[in-house]
Amino acid sequence: MTINWQAVNFDWNHIKAFLLTVEQGSLSAAAKTLQVAQPTLSRQMAALEKSLGIVLFERVGKGIEPTPQALALVEHVKTMAEAASALSLSAMGQTSSIAGTVRISCMVMSAFELSPVLKQLHQQYPNLQLDIMGTDHSSDLKRREADIAIRAYQPTEPDLIAKRLCDFELGLYATKSYAQELGFPETIADLTQAQFIGFTDGRDQFREQLHSKGIYVTDAQIMLRANSHFAHWALAQQGLGVGVMFTNVAQQCEHMVRLCPDQVVFEGQYWLVVHRELHTSRRVRVVFDHLYKTLGGSG
């Protein structure tokens, strides 16, 4: 099949911007992801509409919604995006040079543990550039949102390679002054009057985790919520409520004390994950193997 390239009269970058706008539901969110100004993205959408000869978005209230014509294009654009990602993964997998960038996605608070490990890696490979992306969401490795990920669960996708690193433990923590106000709780029954710091995302999951330990908090006990674990911990450190933190991180904060240590323990495992196509890239493999070796890989 011969492609008529003269009939392809749109900018490929505009297609990527179009798909992100549809998926994220707003120009502002898509512009933030693409790291461009919103007016720039608006001009790109206008240019794409002109080249395609159709209206892609219509304004509804203060937001926008894709038109039926735009929605009819989405599956085609997703196919293009998947092909572009596959091309990028395959090309990256063929590289033999150490020099270049490797992006590591990890839980926000687990980034603390990476610092000494990455220092060793940088000293050994000074031409290797590392981008650390602390996030409480799982990066899509297939779409190249990251090259390597450290996750708190074992992935099941067949195109991912995952190796177990080490176990971690979380507990309930509060400032010494707030713990004193609560009478230094030692049992779950002592937490009925405590204020908890919640999460804006996954609020039901957080409550379910507390319920699994017999802590049945009410809405009145969660008056503050944060959009990341980093912000969650910052609020707890200000004495605004009880927070959940990795024990090895919390132990470094002298003004924080653990509550009910014999009754409330959240446990999990770290997993090191890479896409199968990228595992053959020399620089990605160097970083992957170093992280596995130094962060306590167990098989």
12-57: pLDDT as tens digits:
778 888 888 888 888 888 888 888 888 888 888 888 888 888 888 8
Per-residue pLDDT at 70: 84
pLDDT, tens digit, for every residue of 140-162?
887 778 899 988 888 888 888 99
Residue whose C-alpha is closest to residue 188's, from 169, 207, 172, 204 = 172
Alpha-carbon gap, residue 170 to 36, rounded angstroms: 38
pLDDT, tens digit, for every residue of 25-36?
888 888 888 888
Residue 167 has pLDDT above 80, yes or no: yes
Report the length, in residues, of the chain.
Answer: 299
Query: Would you give the distance in Å from CA 178 to the centre of its chain?
Result: 31
Per-residue pLDDT at 1: 52
pLDDT, tens digit, for every residue of 229-286?
889 999 999 999 999 998 988 998 999 999 999 888 898 888 999 988 777 788 888 8
Residue whose C-alpha is closest to residue 14's, from 32, 30, 25 = 30
The residue assigned the tokens 């039901």 is 204
Residue whose C-alpha is closest to residue 282's, from 128, 124, 142 = 128
Residue 93 — very low, low, confident or very high, per pLDDT cuts 50/70/90?
low
The residue assigned the tokens 């203060």 is 62
Average pLDDT over residues 175-188: 95
**Beta-strand pair 243-246/148-151:** unpaired
Confirm whether pTM is higher than 0.75.
Answer: no
Residue ranges and CATH numbers for the domains of the chain are 5-93 (1.10.10.10), 100-165+269-294 (3.40.190.10), 168-267 (3.40.190.10)
Alpha-carbon gap, residue 237 to 256, rounded angstroms: 7
Residue 299 has pLDDT above 60, yes or no: no
